[in-house]
Amino acid sequence: MAQVKPSGGSVFLVEDEVMIRMMVADMLEELGYSIAAEAGEIEQALEFAHTKNFDIAILDVNVNGKLISPVAEVIEARNRPFIFATGYGMQGLPPGYRDRPVLQKPFQMENLAGMIERTLSGSATAERT
């Protein structure tokens, strides 16, 4: 089955595990997306959420023991779509965000591509992939 590549777009990626962040960034680039910014800690993620331009964000729920909620709030206020990535399932999501799209870690590139496409089109709500 031939994979259809998206027309591109930029992604803000927040992930505290360096190897996972590198792997996801590689997946995104292979799918045709550019990386607008990467962050591995909440403070840096907050700064980038305020200042960087991006089409969509992928947010690790637990960043070095801190919930991603403050970053999600900034992105939401900027009216940008985002996807949570977590190994904890729906129960691990910050309160108030359980209706958001979720990628269950570990995920494959096909799942990532589909979730981004659905989220950008506005059809992803509280999906587990």
**Number of domains observed in the structure of the chain:** 1
Task: Tell me the residue range of the domain where 49 lies.
Answer: 10-120
Q: What is the pLDDT of residue 124?
A: 62
Q: Which CATH number do you get for residue 110?
A: 3.40.50.2300
> Is 129 domain-assigned?
no
The 10s digit of each residue's pLDDT in 44-87 is: 999 999 999 999 999 999 999 999 999 999 999 999 999 999 98
Cβ atoms of 14 and 97 within 8 Å: the answer is: no
Highest-scoring range by mean pLDDT, 2-6, 88-92, 101-105: 101-105
- Is residue 126 one of the residues assigned to a domain? no
DSSP string across 42-81: HHHHHHHHHH---SEEEEESEETTEESHHHHHHHHHTT--
Residue 125 lies inside a defined structural domain of this protein: no
Full-prediction pTM beyond 0.85?
yes
Task: Decide if 31 is inside a domain.
Answer: yes
